[in-house]
Amino acid sequence: MAETLLEVKNLQTHFYTRSGVAKAVEDVSFTLNESETLGLVGESGCGKSVTSLSIMRLVGPPGKIVGGEILYKGEDVLDMNQDDLYKLRGGQIAMIFQDPMTSLNPVLPIGFQIAEAVKAHLKMDETAAMNRAAEMLDRVRIPEARRRLKDYPHQFSGGMRQRVMIAIALSCNPQILIADEPTTALDVTIQAQVLDLMKGLATEFRTATLLITHDLGVVAGTCDRVCVMYAGRVVETAPTASIFKTPAHPYTQALLAAVPRPEQQRGERLAAIGGQPPNLVNLPPGCPFAPRCRKAQPRCRQELPLLENVGPNQRAACFYPY
């Protein structure tokens, strides 16, 4: 049995705004095991990125983690002091952010930015840290790695910058990698290269990966399990094969139906999910997906469904699954 590295229990992260309290993450629970890739899926605004920031305790005002537990190897991250958090971030749990251009410091050479993390967590001297930086650039397949240590972020393409972010994240051999939509700004060819690179390096370093994305094609090719989020909640969780073969929640079914297929005829309309996501400050009673759901019954608009077993290793928050 693989060791459970991360266990998120009933996580709640709220944002206190002038309009009211936005419940960006509400009662979210999942586990991440050693060497596993878990996909966190959903449309924009569903709470995926806030969940990842909560795990790293990087949610700033007006946001606040108001409930739940985030257990890393049994120790609650929410109870850690600043020294323990310093060791955790980058050393044990690393993160690749959405936009590599804004994540990298534009006035510092790439080599310095990689070596900085190495010196902080692996306690290497300057020479050893720069050697490690060159090694990591080589591993992420950047040509002439040692020469490019002196280059600045603007001298790299978008795909190259994302590779640098992967190099920084994996330079200290973390046990968990959180990748927040790492391929969003890249074209399809570069996306495939970056995903293959991440998968190969995660296998080599035995790193567990939490992959946040809205692209179901990415999920199909990289993830072992999937958590589908809607309006700040997990509405379905299952092995990847089950999600694609027998999706239980109507929202999951609608997401899959919206994916373009090669056999579709020219001019045929693409499927779409009608309506808009709910206002997180003023959520409707009952199931938050009910106003957009083709299966909704009166009960759905009055009661909130809980995440319950609907199949082998598959759970869904729906009164009328399948």
DSSP assignment of 84-101 equals: HHHHHBTTTEEEE-S-HH
In a domain, 161, yes or no: yes
> What φ, ψ does residue 134 adopt, rounded to 5°?
-65, -40
Q: In this structure, is residue 124 part of a structural domain?
A: yes
Q: What is the domain-level CATH number for residue 196?
A: 3.40.50.300
Structural domain contains residue 305: no
Q: Exposure string (b/e) for 189-226, b if CB count within 10 Å is 16 or more?
A: ebbebbbebbeebbeeeebbbbbbbbbbebbeebbebb
Strands 208-213 and 176-180: parallel
Tell whether the model's pLDDT for residue 177 goes beyond 90.
yes
The whole domain housing 27 covers 4-223
118 phi/psi in degrees, rounded to 5: -65, -45
Residue 52 lies in a domain: yes
pLDDT digits (tens, 9 = 90+) for 32-45: 999 899 999 999 88
pTM exceeding 0.85: yes
In three-state secondary structure terms, 191 is helix
Nearest alpha carbon to residue 56 among 4, 28, 91: 91
Residue 183 lies in a domain: yes
- Structural domain includes residue 251: no
- Provide the number of structural domains found in the chain: 1
What is the C-alpha to C-alpha distance for residues 27 and 45, in angstroms, rounded to an integer?
Answer: 16
Q: Does residue 44 lie in a domain region?
A: yes
* Structure confidence by residue, pLDDT tens digits, 109-154: 999 999 999 999 999 999 999 999 999 999 888 999 999 999 999 9
13 within a domain of the structure (yes/no): yes
User: Tens digits of per-residue pLDDT, 225-274?
Assistant: 999 999 999 999 999 999 999 999 999 999 999 888 777 788 888 888 88
In angstroms, what CA-CA distances link 158 with 7, 60, 215, 299?
Answer: 33, 27, 19, 48
Separation of first and last alpha carbons in the chain: 30
Of 297, 290, 278, 219, residue with least CA distance to 250: 290
